[in-house]
Amino acid sequence: MSSPIWHPFTQHALQPHMTPIARAEGAHLFTDEGRRIIDAISSWWVVTHGHCHPHLIEAAHQQAGKLDQVIFAGHTHEPAEKLAAALVEMTPQGLDKVFFSDSGSTAVEVALKMALGYWHHLGEGKRNRIIVMEHSYHGDTVGTMSVGERGTFNKPYASLLFDVDTIPFPKPGHEHDTVAALERILIDHPNQIAALIVEPLVLGAGGMLMYSAEVLRDLKQLCERDDVVFIADEVMTGWGRTGTLFACEQAGIAPDILCTSKGLTGGFLPLAATLCQTRFYDAHFSEDRSKMFFHSSSYTANPIACAVGFANTELWRAEPVQERVDTLAAHQAAHLQNLKGHSGFENLRQCGTISALDVKVSDQGYLSNIAPKLYQHFQGLGVLLRPLGNTIYVLPPYCISADDLNAVYDAIADAPNVLKL
- Residues found near ligand PLP in the complex (CB under 6 A): 103-105, 108, 137-139, 199, 204-205, 233, 235-236, 261
- Tell me whether residue 401 is annotated as binding: no
- Tell me whether residue 113 is annotated as binding: no
- Tell me whether residue 386 is annotated as binding: yes
CB within 8 A of 8, min separation 6: which ones? none
Nearest CB to ligand PLP, comparing residues 53 and 241: 241
- Tell me whether residue 137 is annotated as binding: yes
- Tell me whether residue 105 is annotated as binding: yes
Give the HSE-up count for residue 374: Cα atoms under 13 Å, Cβ half-sphere.
Answer: 28
Nearest CB to ligand PLP, comparing residues 299 and 345: 299
Amino acid at 85: A
> No. of H helices and E strands in the chain?
12, 16
Task: Give the shortest CB-233-to-ligand PLP separation in angstroms.
Answer: 5
The CA distance from 392 to 207, in Å, is 9
Best CA proximity match to 234, nearest among 255, 213, 211, 252: 255
**DSSP-assigned letters across all residues of 295-347:** ---TTTT-HHHHHHHHHHHHHHHHS-HHHHHHHHHHHHHHHHHHHTT-TTEEE
Task: Give the shortest CB-299-to-ligand PLP separation in angstroms.
Answer: 13
Which residue is closest to ligand PLP by CB? 104
Task: Give the shortest CB-8-to-ligand PLP separation in angstroms.
Answer: 9
Strands 97-101 and 272-276: antiparallel
- Tell me whether residue 368 is annotated as binding: no
- Tell me whether residue 146 is annotated as binding: no
Q: Does residue 347 contact residue 95 with C-beta atoms inside 8 Å?
A: no
Nearest CB to ligand PLP, comparing residues 233 and 404: 233
- Tell me whether residue 362 is annotated as binding: no
- Tell me whether residue 296 is annotated as binding: yes
Task: Give the shortest CB-203-to-ligand PLP separation in angstroms.
Answer: 8
Q: What is the DSSP letter of 51?
A: B
Q: What is the DSSP letter of 359?
A: E
CB atoms within 10 A of CB 294: 9
β-partners of residue 97 are: 276
Task: Give the shortest CB-272-to-ligand PLP separation in angstroms.
Answer: 7
The CA distance from 123 to 283, in Å, is 10
Task: Give the shortest CB-46-to-ligand PLP separation in angstroms.
Answer: 8
SS3 367: coil
Nearest CB to ligand PLP, comparing residues 144 and 331: 144
Nearest CB to ligand PLP, comparing residues 152 and 278: 152
Task: Give the shortest CB-144-to-ligand PLP separation in angstroms.
Answer: 7
- Tell me whether residue 104 is annotated as binding: yes
CB within 8 A of 303, min separation 6: which ones? 63, 66, 67, 68, 69, 70, 77, 79, 80
Nearest CB to ligand PLP, comparing residues 39 and 233: 233
Task: Give the shortest CB-263-to-ligand PLP separation in angstroms.
Answer: 11
Nearest CB to ligand PLP, comparing residues 133 and 412: 133
Q: Does residue 397 contact residue 48 with C-beta atoms inside 8 Å?
A: yes
Q: How far, in Å, are 88, 93, 158, 317 from residue 252 at the CA level?
A: 17, 10, 36, 21
Nearest CB to ligand PLP, comparing residues 246 and 409: 246
Feature table: binding site for pyridoxal 5'-phosphate: 104-105, 233, 297-298
* Residues flagged as binding site for substrate: 44, 137, 262, 296, 386
User: Which segments are annotated as binding site?
Assistant: 44, 104-105, 137, 233, 262, 296-298, 386
